[in-house]
Structure formats: C-alpha cells, structure tokens
Structure 1
Amino acid sequence: MIRTLPFVMVLLAVVQPASAVTLYDASLGTLPGSQHWLAVVDSDTVESYTGMYASLDTTAVRADQSGYFSEDPFTGTIVSHPDMPTLDRASGYTIGFAVQVLAEAHNARDDNGDGRDDRAGFSVIAISEDLRGLELGFFADRVWAYAAAGEGADSLFTQAEGVDFDATADVVDYQLSVLGDGYALLADGALVLAGNLRNYNPSGVSTLTDPYNNPSFLFLGDDTTSAESHVLLGDVTVELFAAALPGDANGDRAIDGLDYLIWAEAFGDDPAADPPGAPENGDFNGDTRVDGLDYLVWASNFGRGPNNATAVPEPTAAILLLLGLLTCTLRGRRHR
C-alpha cells in the first residue's frame, strides 16, 4: 500500500490536459508495427491480433526479446512514430496503455542481493526529452520500477519501489503520469505506485538498441533474456499538459484573487517556505523570496485561465498597483 503521495500527485490533481494523441489504436484491427511503431519480434515470438488486442508471446524461448519501439534506438530516423510528441516532464504528461499479463516467468536473478528478482518479462519504458524517465517491470503479481545507478550497491536495473498487484485478471488501463521529478502509476483509475524518475545512463546497453539515451521515447515489450511473458496490448496514448501559469499559487489554472491572498499571506518571507521557489508559497519568480516582484508577476497575469471569457472583469492597472503597494506596506511592517 502507498502510505504517502509525492508532490507530483497534488499537481496532477489540478493540472489541465492540453492535447492527447493515440499512438496505437487496437480497434483498427492491426498490430503496432502497422501503426508506425518499430516492431522487433524474434523468430520464436508469436505475435497476433486477437480481434480486440495485440498479442505478444515470448514464452517459447525465454531468451527472446521482442517489443515495440516508438523509434529506432540507434538513429531515431529510420523508423520514428510521426505522432510521437515531445515528453516534457516540466509541464507534465501521461502515458496511457492497456495491458493484460496472461503469463510471466523470470529467472531467479538477484543482482544486488536484496532478495528480490531483478528482471521482468514485460516492461514499459518512458523517457522524457531530457533523458529522465522510468522503466516499469511487470510480474504476474507485482508491478515495480527499475532502479538507476546510485540507489545502493549494484543498483542499476534492479528492483526498486513496487507493489503487489494482480496483472493477470483482466486488461488493465494504466496511466503513467509524469510531472517534474516524480511519477505516479494508476491502474483503472486507482493509484498503485509512485516515486521519482531516473536517468539510466550510462546504461551499458549497446548503442544499437539502447532505449535510455533517446529523448521522448517509448517501449513496450520483453527487453530481457532473463524473463518471458505473454501479454495482450490495447491502446497506447500520450496526453500532454499545459505549462503552469505564472502567478497560479493554488494550482487551479486560473490567476485570480485566491492566488493574491496566498501571496499576501506569505509576503515578506525570506526565504520562502519549503520548498523555496514554489508558486504555492507565493514565490512566483523563483528567487526564494516573497516580495513585490512576485506581486508584479501575479498582476501581469491576472485574469488568465480556462474561464477567461466569463471571468470577473480585470481590475485596472492603477487599482492593482495600489493594492500591491498597500499590501507591501502593511505586510512589510508586520514581518519586521
């Protein structure tokens, strides 16, 4: 069970989607390779379309590695999905994928001696534009994140945070949401896993097949010789989120009086409350202080948001300036 939620979940609760694209549409009756994915399928792997989902079965030979790449890892140009967007973790994005793990088996391989097996028969890799991302491993009864180097002795590509979860009962609609340094994994709308993104470089993987050094990259499949799986794969989507609005202290995507009140309450804080430089503390310009410069950021963006057309009429510049000066005077005295 997840006991605490990272800050990413608070932001994801209020952030608004900007655009969404479908990278694989299972209802079209074709396999991912026919929808602009690079399909790498070993000779012993069985790939088929079931009538509703793509089926990928690597259980015949455990050493087989097969799956679907959003672009070829070596050049990124021989095959590149034309609809693949830039995965900007600063503004945020969500990878949606529907998967049922029909079968999975793996070697007893514990690379770092923590008593947990470190290879999964099905993986999802999502790499942001700046190469920070995540690889998720799926057992039949567990979902977990692969660790990067520096998370303990011999930690690279070992099992990090994870949760016991039945991945076999039905096709599950997963959402991997990324924002800033964090991620959250939802299964049919319920939060199951959360943690920090990783940079897996240098990965030690051959440059011909290295997925971790490719900006804005996705992979779904079996990428290890130490495990096997049979999965059903449904739709794969990417939803991008709009960048945060300057002056939005409460994260409701509207710059209004509520944000002003948060700034006014924090005015004079130096340094700003933890985490310094965060808009929710009234520090809109990121200089770790809450002062008149932050007020100017709020005032210059006042009225922006999804409901601009029906918003309360914007105060005149003179009124905003007087309001800010009055607050600075009163609050400044109190903090001294």
Structure 2
Amino acid sequence: MDCSCIAALATVAVLGASPALAASEIWYDPSLGSLPQSQGWTYFTLPSLPEVFVDGSARLDTTGLDLIRGGWTRVGTPPLSRADGVRLEFDLRVDSENHASTHRAGFSVILLGHDKRGVEIGFWTDKVWAQSDSPLFFHAEEVAIDTTARFVTYGLELLADQYRLLANGQPVLSGPVRDYTGFTGTFDVYETPDFVFLGDDTTSASGSVRLRQVAVTRGLSSPPPAISIRRNGDQIQMRWPGESGGIVRVLESAANPTGPWATDSSSRAFESGPGDGTVSVSIDPSSGPAFFRLR
C-alpha cells in the first residue's frame, strides 16, 4: 500500500452503532371483548358516532356522511424513537371506502416519532399510499393491495430517516419519513410527539373498517454488518454484505466521532437486496477527516 493510500484511509473512520433491544407491547387486544377506548386509547368523532364492537373487532364506520371524522388516538410512552426503530402492527380489514379527492382516504394511519417526524398512510379498497409533506398532503408513493378480501396484518415501521410498510410480513411500501408540522388546520395532531392515529381524519372521504389486535415494538435496529474500506482510484470505497428482508441501512457522517451526525438529505439510505451481494459507497477523502457509521 503506497503512502497516498495510507493517508487517504487515515481520513476515514467507521464507527459501529449499538442496536436497541426489541420490546413489544399489545395496545389493543380484542379477545378481551372490549373496545380500544377501554384499553388506553382516546376515541372521538365529529359529529358524535358510537364506538362499536362486532365479530371480535372494533368497527369504525364514517360512510354515512363524508363530514364525519374520527378514530382512535394514543401517545406512546416511553417515546417512539426513530433512531432505535419502532413498528406499529395492526390487523385491519377495509369493508368500504369512498373519496372525493385522490389525495384523501377514508381510513388513515398516522405514526409519528418522538421528534414529530413520521408518516401518514391512506387506505383505499384497492391501494395503500403515503401522504407527502412537500407539497403538503398530496398522494405520494403507493402500492396496489386488496384491503377488503380479508384481515391483513400491517406493520408500519420508522427506522432512522425511512419508513416501511409490511403486509402479512412482506415489505410492500417504503420511503422517507415526513415532516407534517407545517399543517395548521383543525385536526392538527402533527406537532404531537410519539403520536398514533387510526381512523378517518378528513371530510373529503369516508370508510368502514374493522380493527383487531394492535401492538407496538420498540427497538428494531439489528447490529450493522462489518464494513471494509479500500482505495478505489481517488475515492475511498466502503463495502458491507447485503442482507435479506429489505433491511434499510443509513450511512451517516460527521466531522467528529461524537457527532452531530448527518440525518438530513445528506444522509444516504441503502435497502439491501436478496442478501447475496454487497452494498458499496464511494467518498472523496479530499474534504478532510470524516467519521462514518452504519445504522
């Protein structure tokens, strides 16, 4: 190895990130024969609409009038940390849904981390999709799913700067977390840390759904794989093994080993493929010493 290569590699340090231990908590158990409101949730509708338990499920039906808004809310304690990873898992069946705008849904799920960043997911009878934050509350990425045929166990995850939605354990939708704090309307819950909502939050759509078990898991991050560093021309290349399961890793950088770590658009997210390859990224070492970590 020549001296220039030694000097270049000396400008790069790769630090490990300690994973959080996963801990799950059931937030709604329909086998108890009761509704979410009696299990720690706040239920509300405008105008008033009774909470109904039927066929082992909590039913929300706003199809009588588009002006009806309502659902279940809860604030997570302890906090819902995106850095450690959090998953909201819920069993849901959409019986019907109508919308007057392609940017609205008759049933939505909001999951916000402790820093008030997260995502809102809308459910139609044939699609599931995410709300954008710029422009605010526009139809963004989507996936075609029949939400009416049977109960589906959805898992909505926040991990670092990415969200991911699973359906019966399979990844179906992903993207960057959103910042909805610019909203100033009547239903302004987007500045509430650790916030969870399941229901109809718009007067432009309506729906009828049945909800069964809801659970929250904190601490999704697993130990990151080992990183190798090598010279590649004028660049420094960092490589690590691919992982199965669509795991999203974020490569963060900082000028000092204690941070602050880049978590904005300068961060780079990598979703692994089938697990039989490698993921690599090249950097220019001429900008001075830098520290990197994979989360």
**What TM-score does the superposition give when structure 1 sets the normalisation length?**
0.62
For residues 96-135 of structure 1, the aligned pairs below 5 Å read 96-107=89-100, 109=101, 117-135=102-120
Q: In the alignment, residue 223 of structure 1 is paired with which amino acid?
A: D
Deviation of the 1:285 alpha carbon: 9.8
Does 2:183 correspond to 1:190? no
- The Cα of 1:51 is off from its aligned counterpart by 3.5
Counting matched residue pairs gives: 229
* Percent identity between the two aligned chains: 38
Unaligned 5+ segments in structure 1 are 1-14, 72-82, 110-116, 150-154, 251-258, 276-283, 294-336
Q: Distance in 2 between matches of 1:32 and 1:201?
A: 27
* Larger strand share, 1 or 2: 2
Q: Which residue matches 1:163?
A: 143
State the partner residue of 1:88: 81
Displacement, 1:288? 7.0
One-letter identity of the residue aligned with 1:35: Q
What does the per-residue CA deviation read over 1:281-307, in whole Å, with 9 as the maximum and x for residues that have no partner?
xxx995579xxx9xxxxxxxxxxxxxx
The answer to whether structure 1 residue 219 and structure 2 residue 197 are counterparts is: yes
Whichever residue aligns with residue 199 of structure 1, its letter is D
**Structure 2: which amino acid aligns with 1:215?**
P
Structure with the larger RCO, 1 or 2 (CA within 8 Å, 6+ apart): 2
**For the residues of structure 2 that align with 1:229 and 1:148, how far apart are their CA atoms?**
23
Q: Label 1:90 to 1:271 Cα distance change in 2 as closer, same or farther (>3 A).
A: farther
Residue number among 41, 44, 53 corresponding to 1:40 in the alignment: 44
**Any residues of structure 2 matched to 1:1-336 within 5 Å, and which?**
17-43=21-47, 45-71=49-75, 84-107=77-100, 109=101, 117-149=102-134, 155-206=135-186, 209-241=187-219, 249-250=224-225, 259=226, 262-263=227-228, 265-266=229-230, 273=237, 286-287=253-254
Secondary structure, aligned partner of 1:157: strand
Q: Matches of 1:47 and 1:89 in 2, distance apart?
A: 31
Bigger helix share: 1
CA RMSD for the aligned pairs? 2.9
- Structure 1 stretches of at least 4 aligned residues deviating more than 3 Å after TM superposition: 42-46, 265-275, 284-289
Q: Is the 8 A contact 2:92 2:151 kept in 1?
A: yes
Letter in 1 for 2:195: F
Structure 2: unaligned runs, 5 residues or longer: 1-18, 240-250, 258-295
In the other structure, the counterpart of 1:9 is none
